[in-house]
Amino acid sequence: MGDAQEKIRVLIAKAGLDGHDRGAKVVARALRDAGMEVIYTGLRQTPEMITEAALQEDVQVVGLSILSGAHMTLVPKVKKMLKEQGLENVKLFLGGIIPDEDKRELEKLGVAGIYGPGTSTQVIIEDIQNACQ
């Protein structure tokens, strides 16, 4: 067996019922181009599906894209389910239009990064790299 080689593995999931994933795909490609292994799961992922995929793929990071406004119900649920599966070390990042007060609350819950529309992918890349050190 050769030299150890580690890669940052990231799950990108689109949660909620709204139907487009352009932003999530842009981020997924940018992360790949930054050398990460990105598992893309597609639209309408429930917290159960996200947790199961995170478990099977052994990712360090879950990136959630939520545009439906349901972040205050979905994010705590994902967070809780990850913990139940022994995945409390997985870092949770969130993309979407999140009001400031929700932001503060989600950060208190332990969300590692929250990004609004138009965030430079470079910022997201660096935050993930720092979180995974």
Partner 1 sequence: MPVTDPKEILKGERLAISRALTQIENSTQEGYQLLEELFPHTGKAHLIGVTGAPGTGKSTLVNQLAYHYRRTEGGEKAPRLAVIAVDPTSPFSGGALLGDRVRMQDLAGDPGVFVRSMASRGSLGGLAAATANLVQVFDAAGYEIIIIETVGAGQAEVDIASLAHSTIVVEAPGLGDEIQTIKAGILEIADILVVNKSDKPGADHTLRALRSMLTLSQPHPEDIAHHGPAQQATQPTNDLPSSLWSTPVLPTISTIGEGFPELIAELANHLDYLRTSGEWQRREEKRLKNELEMLLRDTLRTRWENKISATKYQYTLDRVVTRKLTPWKAVQVLLEGAGL
The distance of closest approach from Cβ of residue 49 to partner 1 in the complex, given in angstroms and rounded to an integer, is: 5
Could you tell me which stretch among 26-34, 75-83, 102-110, 113-121 binds partner 1 (CB under 8 A)? 26-34
Does position 56 bind partner 1 by CB under 8 A?
yes
Nearest residue (CB) to partner 1, 30 versus 72: 30
Among 15, 27, 31, 74, binds partner 1 (CB under 8 A): 31
**Footprint of partner 1 on residues 63-102 (CB under 8 A)?**
85-87, 89
Give dist(CA 106, CA 125) in Å, integer.
20
Give dist(CA 89, CA 87) in Å, integer.
5
Does position 22 bind partner 1 by CB under 8 A?
no
- What lies within 8 Å, CB to CB, of 60 at 6+ separation is 8, 9, 10, 89, 90, 91, 131, 132
Give dist(CA 60, CA 91) in Å, integer.
6
